[in-house]
A and B are shown apart, each in its own frame.
Chain A
Amino acid sequence: MEQSFLKLGKIVATICFASFSTTSHAADLAQPKSEIILTVSGGIASTNANDTAVFDLDMIKELGMTSIETTTIWTEGVQSFVGVPLTALLEAVEAEGTVIKATAVNDYAIEIPLDDPTSTAALIAYENNGSVMTLRDKGPLWIVYPYDEAPQFQTEVVYSRSIWQLDRIEITE
């Protein structure tokens, strides 16, 4: 049941996506003005650098601002994360695919299937405890989940998908 609702949600999202893309330009994405911290490639309709979409921190901040309060196994105490939902980013790049491949600065890579219900809760965080995350603080971007919210976010799979020092995303079929 939950599954079918999610599927329905996805279909609706896709339709909205499609209508949005027809009324907007493919190269609507602005050009980054400072250091590029994220590169999105693969099945995307919206680009700003050849076939990829590149983002600096301000561009990512413009995509949205969501916060999560949670503990993590890698940190001490309750952490406050601010970031853009993964789905919002995918929307912004008009992604067309079912799996995203996320890669870190040190080439650590994971895959997130978009039909996994946990994926909608995934947040691409850029602020931790009120500060922009540096590379030393697992920045500039860290995919986090609301781990304390439900046991489904406390699995090995979710932990492994919680990739920090993220700098590349590829949308694949």
Chain B
Amino acid sequence: MTAQGNKQQPLRWARFGILGVVLLVCFGAIAILGFEVNRKIKEQATASSDNVQWVLSQLEVEYLSFHAAITEAQLDGDLGDVRRRFDILYSRVATFRTGQAYETLRGELSFANLLAGLNAAVNDMIPLIDGPDEELRAQLPELSKQVEIVGTAVRQIALIGIDYFAGVSDRSRSEVWLTLMRVAALTMALVMALVILAIVLFQLYRVAQRNAEVTRTTSARLEAMVSSTLDAVIVIDEAGLIVEYNGAAEYIFGYSRTEAIGSPMVDMIIPLKYRKAHLEGMKRHLRDGSTHVVGRGRIQMEALRKNGELFPCEFSIARAPASNRILFVSFLRDNSAQVAAEQELLKARDEALAGERTKAEFMAVMSHEMRTPLNGMLGTMELLAETELNPRQRDYLRIIETSGRLLLHHVNDVLDIARLDAGRTGSEKRPFNLSVLVSEVADGQRSLAHANHTELEIDLEALGNPTVLGDQQRLRQVPLNLVSNAIKFTRDGVVRIEAEKLGDSDVVEFRIIDSGIGINEEDLDRIFDDFVTLDTTYAREYGGTGLGLGIAKRLIESLDGAIGAESEPGDGSLFWFRLPLPILSKGAAETVEVEAKPAPRPKPEQSLDILVVEDNQINQLVVEEMLRKEGHSVTLTNDGQEGVAAANLRHYDVILMDISMPRMDGVAATLAIRNGDGRCRDTRIVALTANAVPEDIERFKDSGMNDVLVKPISRAKLAKALSIKSPEIIASAAPRALPALLDTEAVRGLLSDLGAERSSKLLNAFLAETDSLVDQFTTSPDNDDNILIGDIHKLAGSASLFGTLQFSDLLRELEVLGKSGRADEMRAKLSDLPQCWSMTRNALEEIASENVSQ
């Protein structure tokens, strides 16, 4: 119903009301008139006029009879008849005089006069009539005369009476006629009203018909919409029975329209697990109108097909108030295709990601697998070089070694890419001398440059000699790759390294400029891509995976820097990179440890008893040979289990532990040794690994390893790894190998970062706090294990912040013991703390004083 229709409604009822009133009035009037007519007719029926008139006319008859009786009596002398006729006449006159029917007539003056005259005349006759017979008989002629005198009056009375009553009848008739006319008029009015009513009703009917037509078109249109929509449309009533169900619904759910209409929706399309919730929701909604779905827009859910298949769908429900009940209209869309497509897309993405991961893993594994035999080859060649060889053999060996090292270099490149892509390398910032770093890189490449008759120049004047904070290891690789690249493509020219600080910022820019063959402009964009080798001639001559620049770019980006190149073909190229390197100090006051280039092999101070746990036969051979050359005694085992067994049997000074081994890997073996009761429980364990990812190294150290030796192993590296501990063994009689007291570099970095004032303040606070805690731990440790562990953990945190190694290791060990349920052991070991702390404290104070003096 439209709003207009609503407005018309009262108007229409008013019209009906008026018509009704008119009809009622007509009916009422007709009824009243009907009564009136009825009364009139009854009046006619009860009217006494006929009888009255008859009586009037009879007056003259009685008069004449009386006169005739007198005349007769004069002839035969019969007086009885005279008397009787008189009495009758008398009674007639009396009737006129007293009868109520004649009352109005008596109002007529002429009638009254005549009647009075007649009455007087009759009364005058009474004495004679009632008198004796003789007198009457004698007076008969006289009486006759008297009677004749009143004859005219009698006639007049009758005539007037009849005239009068005729008039009365006429009036009465005309009244009846008038009433009947009124009835007729009212009937006409009634008929007219009925006709008008009929017309009005007809018009209303026409309007209703038009409205019905409009409604029909509207609903036909709606029906067309509903039936042609691709969404299922289901309408249910408040009892949950389906009222409307379109073609799309038939298609989606599989129920036909006839099946669906009148059936409870919940049993048809709602999956079993949702039915209870649906019914409760419906009940709740009908009770208080609260809802989770009605009018809440699109909702994702599952629906049930006739064949029992569940499918994802999207639907919305609206409440439609109908005339006397509530309807719920629901539009539902079959989302199974969309969901399937989404899942397919997800699957494709997952597969692609998995592919990427697999690729990276494959590359890492491959390079690892390649490095292990390569290490074997290179190690063996090193050993071979020390045997008696003729010059030719030595020449061959040099070629093999060069090729082997190049191959190793490539493999390392690939591994670097894989590592960087895997994003597993965290940045580690430490202070270092930038000039030294650049010099080292240049020194390393100088021989290569000379081979190409190329000069290698360094210009760091603009930079000065600063100590900066940054990730030295990563940064070193970038100029290294760029310089080596520049040298490759430069003959008889110059490669120049420049570095300067940009303005007031922390950003330092490096430029590597060569006078080489240059790069075409169109190639400049892709030179940083992986596996790009521009000139096959040079590439073939020098080898190269084409990964060098890709690695450089990744590294620089990981250090928040940028890299780029400019070039003029034939004139040479300029590669630049810039990155933030906060300058800590301008001068080179510190001596930065620099690894000696032609590292002289450190001589071992003492011969060590070494256990080698290594599954690879070649590696076993190489390591054994190298160690024996240094004067150590070597025991070989083939895997972790054998290693643990050997370590339990007798004491070794050092254990070299390979990581990936069959049966039991290095980490597990180390844990077994450290947690066991064997004689090597406290022996220094050095990991041998080709995988030197920082996380792994952390993991190795957590398992109890003291150091990590990254393959390939050279005698120099091996000697260094062993020599770190050697002085300690001499210095302390303790069989246990301990790490250095402090990470001096870290402590110095921290102190210089903070500034003299703050750092001494902080350091003093740390020293005081630790003094008190260590004292507390040894004299009166907390009874609650958890509180004690918490305190130890806290102390371990600050201890490692201040770069302590042995001390924080000990604290961490205590914490691990406590947390692994070995609180007794933890408490027993607390007594180790004071000695370790006093040593660490001394070392710290020493560095602090040197910092202050600086």
Q: Which residues of A contact B (CB under 8 A)?
A: 71-76, 105-106, 108, 134-138, 151, 154-156, 159-160, 164-165
Contact = CB atoms under 8 A, between A and B. Distances in A.
B46 interface: yes
Nearest to A161: B51
A156 B62 contact: no
Given A135-B84, A135-B91, A75 B48 contact: no
Contacts of A165: 88, 91
Chain A contact residues: helix, strand, loop or mixed: loop
A105 B52 CA distance: 19
A156 B48 contact: yes
Interface in B27-48: 42, 45-48
A155 B95 CA distance: 19
Given A106-B88, A156-B45, A165-B88, A73 B101 contact: yes
B101 A74 contact: yes
Contact of B46 (A71, A135, A156, A160): A156
Contact of B91 (A137, A156, A160): A137
A160 B85 CA distance: 21
A73 B91 contact: no
Contacts of A156: 45-48, 50-51
B98 A154 contact: no
A75 B55 CA distance: 13
B43 to A, nearest CB: 10
Most chain A CB atoms below 10 A, which of B42, B65, B98, B100: B100
B100 A75 contact: yes
A159 B65 contact: no
A94 B90 CA distance: 35
B87 interface: yes
B524 to A, nearest CB: 132
B58 interface: yes
Nearest to A106: B88
Contact of A73 (B48, B61, B85): B48
User: Which 10 interchain pairs have the tightest Cβ spacing?
Assistant: A135-B87, A154-B46, A73-B101, A74-B99, A159-B51, A73-B48, A136-B90, A76-B98, A136-B87, A74-B95
Nearest to B88: A106
B45 A155 contact: yes
A159 B94 contact: no
Contacts of B52: 73
Contact of A164 (B54, B91, B101): B91
Nearest to A154: B46
Contact of B62 (A73, A106, A155): A106
A59 to B, nearest CB: 21
B65 A106 contact: yes
B232 to A, nearest CB: 74
Nearest to B95: A74
10 contacts: A73-B52, A74-B101, A75-B99, A76-B99, A106-B58, A135-B91, A136-B90, A151-B46, A159-B50, A160-B51
A71 B87 CA distance: 23
A138 B62 CA distance: 13
Contacts of A155: 45-46
B161 to A, nearest CB: 14
A160 B773 CA distance: 150
A62 to B, nearest CB: 26
A160 B50 contact: yes
A138 B91 contact: yes
A105 B48 contact: no
B88 A135 contact: yes
Nearest to B42: A151
Most chain A CB atoms below 10 A, which of B51, B61, B98: B51
A159 B47 CA distance: 9
A105 B88 CA distance: 8
A72 to B, nearest CB: 8
Contacts of A74: 55, 95, 98-101
Interface in B66-113: 84-85, 87-88, 90-91, 94-95, 98-101, 103
A173 B155 CA distance: 39
A159 B55 CA distance: 11
A53 B474 CA distance: 168
Given A76-B100, A105-B88, A135-B91, 7 more contacts: A72-B100, A75-B99, A135-B88, A138-B95, A155-B45, A159-B50, A165-B91
B58 A75 contact: no
Most chain A CB atoms below 10 A, which of B45, B47, B88, B91: B91
Nearest to B47: A156
Nearest to B101: A73
B393 to A, nearest CB: 159
Contacts of B55: 74
Contacts of B85: 106
Contacts of A108: 58
A72 B42 CA distance: 18
A164 B92 CA distance: 11
Nearest to A76: B98
Contacts of A136: 87, 90-91, 94
B679 to A, nearest CB: 141
A135 B94 CA distance: 12
A134 B101 CA distance: 22
A71 B94 CA distance: 16
Interface string B95-136: 100111101000000000000000000000000000000000
Given A105-B84, A108-B58, A73 B100 contact: yes
A151 B42 CA distance: 9
A73 B51 contact: yes
A137 B95 CA distance: 9
A139 to B, nearest CB: 8
A73 B48 CA distance: 7
Contacts of B101: 73-74
A112 B315 CA distance: 98
Contacts of B45: 155-156
Nearest to B54: A160
Nearest to A135: B87
A146 B84 CA distance: 28
A144 to B, nearest CB: 14
Contacts of A106: 58, 61-62, 65, 85, 88
Nearest to B52: A73
A40 to B, nearest CB: 20
A75 B98 CA distance: 5
Nearest to A157: B45
A149 B94 CA distance: 25
B495 to A, nearest CB: 147
A160 B58 CA distance: 13
Nearest to B66: A106
B121 to A, nearest CB: 15
A137 B91 CA distance: 6
Contacts of A72: 99-100
Given A155-B45, A156-B47, A73 B88 contact: no
B279 to A, nearest CB: 68
Contacts of B88: 105-106, 135, 165
A159 B54 CA distance: 11
A76 B99 CA distance: 5
Nearest to A152: B46
A31 to B, nearest CB: 22
